[in-house]
């Protein structure tokens, strides 16, 4: 089965074609970072308009790259949610219209399920069951995964997600947008020992997260440094290093706790923050200590992309699921509401 995947949930337009027998045939991504940079964050109306401009040219590009015609496709998958309502509507309308016009089924895909399944695009994917850490600008979640659609929520952020905390820390440090990569790059130049930042909620039971207090602590540290004059480059680097260390420590502690609780040794990390080098290194080292293994997607598939939507949609279409003719989006959509998919044991 060949499936065209469309991702338009936020500020990146992603298109890809996935073949259930040959794997990923082609993919393309357009990022709106430059468009939103002057505003310091995503402007929903601008994001929606840019998806309208870029989506169909990207579809044609991917079709050409794969050497396919519309008659060669067996289905269309689009991101139905969660995300920005207007941006989601662009992909949903286009995807549903193309599927109807081509006489193939369409399927609305859960954005975070796409991220969760992105490591399945790699040459050595994880077998079920495993624990997944989903970390992005809008979500920080720990999920037990027993199969596609078989999800048990173990813990999630009670306020700011990890990626959102990175973005807010970047603003406080007067860095550019997007904030996560900027903070990570600056942290590499800093001294993690100068400031001691809290590790939120690690000293209480459970697997939930909270990063709003860490944001406040960062602001107070910046204000304290400014009380003695201007914030220096050294101050910024050391604060960034301490902040990143606190976030990474918190995530590693909670992941280790989740694996122990579920008696599992396989961990998947996915979402934009999974590209963070410090987080990858710490999780790899920790999992090696306990005889486990960590899996994550290639860097190209950590951020929003069409490949993960095409893959997730293909699995659901193969199981006989499809969306009806109504064009609908779900800006808020708990992943635990998804129906299970029957696949070969251990692999998708």
Residue 5 is labelled as binding a ligand: no
Q: What is the dihedral of CA 88, 119, 116, 311, to 10 degrees?
A: 50
The answer, yes or no, to whether residue 344 has pLDDT greater than 60, is no
Q: What is the pLDDT of residues 86-101, one digit of tens each?
A: 999 999 999 999 999 9
Residue 276 is labelled as binding a ligand: yes
Domain 2-118+301-337 shares a fold with domain 128-296: yes
pLDDT of residue 347: 41
Residue 111 is labelled as binding a ligand: yes
What is the pTM (predicted TM-score) of this model? Answer: 0.95
The domains of the chain are located at 2-118+301-337, 128-296
Q: What percent of the chain has pLDDT over 90?
A: 93
Residue 203 is labelled as binding a ligand: no
Choose the CATH number for 2-118+301-337 among 1.50.10.10, 3.40.50.1370, 3.50.50.60, 3.30.420.40.
Answer: 3.30.420.40
Q: What is the pLDDT of residues 289-306, one digit of tens each?
A: 999 999 999 999 999 999
Q: What is the pLDDT of residues 108-137, one digit of tens each?
A: 999 999 999 999 999 999 999 999 999 988
Residue 180 is labelled as binding a ligand: yes
Average model confidence (pLDDT) across the chain: 95
Q: What is the pLDDT of residues 54-88, one digit of tens each?
A: 999 999 999 999 999 999 999 999 999 999 999 99
Q: What is the pLDDT of residues 259-275, one digit of tens each?
A: 999 999 999 999 999 99
The answer, yes or no, to whether residue 213 has pLDDT greater than 80, is yes
Q: Averaged over 182-202, what is the pLDDT?
A: 96
Give the residue from 173, 167, 172 showing the smallest Cα distance to 237.
173
* Structure-token pair, residue 112: 């975070």
pLDDT of residue 70: 97
Kindly indicate the confidence band of residue 230, based on its pLDDT and cuts at 50, 70 and 90. Answer: confident
Residue 51 is labelled as binding a ligand: no
Give the residue from 217, 288, 209 showing the smallest Cα distance to 254.
209
Residue 188 CB coordination number (10 Å):
12
pLDDT of residue 181: 94
The answer, yes or no, to whether residue 176 has pLDDT greater than 90, is no
Q: Averaged over 203-220, what is the pLDDT?
A: 94
Q: What is the pLDDT of residues 3-43, one digit of tens each?
A: 999 999 999 999 999 999 999 999 999 999 999 998 989 99
Is the alpha carbon torsion for 54, 55, 60, 62 positive or negative? positive
pLDDT of residue 279: 97
The answer, yes or no, to whether residue 183 has pLDDT greater than 70, is yes
Kindly indicate the confidence band of residue 343, based on its pLDDT and cuts at 50, 70 and 90. Answer: low
Residue 136 is labelled as binding a ligand: yes
pLDDT of residue 229: 82
pLDDT of residue 346: 39
The answer, yes or no, to whether residue 285 has pLDDT greater than 90, is yes
Kindly indicate the confidence band of residue 345, based on its pLDDT and cuts at 50, 70 and 90. Answer: very low
Superfamily of segment(s) 128-296: ATPase, nucleotide binding domain (3.30.420.40)
């Amino acid at each position: 089965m060949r499936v065209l995947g469309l991702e338009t949930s936020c500020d990146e337009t992603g298109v890809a074609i996935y073949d259930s027998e040959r794997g990923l045939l082609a993919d393309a991504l357009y990022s709106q970072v430059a468009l939103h940079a002057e505003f310091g964050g995503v402007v929903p109306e601008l994001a929606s308009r840019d998806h309208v401009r870029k989506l169909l040219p990207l579809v044609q590009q991917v079709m050409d790259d794969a050497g396919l015609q519309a008659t060669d496709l067996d289905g269309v998958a689009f991101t139905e949610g969660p995300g920005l309502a207007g941006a989601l509507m662009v992909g949903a309308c286009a995807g549903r219209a193309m599927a109807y016009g081509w006489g193939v089924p369409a399927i609305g895909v859960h954005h975070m399920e796409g991220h969760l399944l992105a490591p399945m695009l790699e040459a050595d994917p994880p077998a079920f069951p495993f624990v997944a850490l989903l970390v992005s600008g809008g979500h920080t979640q720990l999920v037990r995964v027993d199969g596609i659609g078989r999800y048990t929520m173990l813990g999630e952020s009670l306020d700011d997600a990890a990626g959102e905390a990175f973005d807010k820390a970047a603003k406080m440090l007067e860095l550019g947008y997007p904030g996560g990569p900027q903070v990570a790059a600056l942290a590499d130049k800093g001294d993690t020992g100068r400031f001691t930042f809290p590790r939120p909620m690690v000293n209480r039971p459970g697997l939930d997260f909270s990063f709003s207090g860490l944001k406040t602590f960062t602001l107070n540290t910046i204000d304290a440094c400014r009380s003695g004059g201007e914030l220096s480059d050294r101050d910024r680097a050391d604060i960034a290093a301490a902040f990143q260390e606190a976030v990474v420590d918190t995530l590693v502690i909670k992941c280790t706790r989740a694996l122990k609780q579920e008696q599992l040794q396989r961990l998947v990390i996915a979402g934009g923050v999974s590209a963070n080098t410090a987080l990858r290194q710490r999780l790899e080292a920790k999992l090696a200590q306990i005889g486990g293994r960590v899996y994550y997607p290639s860097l190209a598939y950590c951020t929003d992309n069409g490949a993960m939507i095409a893959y997730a949609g293909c699995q659901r279409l193969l199981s006989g699921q499809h969306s009806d003719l109504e064009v609908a989006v779900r800006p808020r959509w708990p992943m635990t509401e998804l129906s299970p998919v029957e696949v070969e044991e251990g692999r998708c």
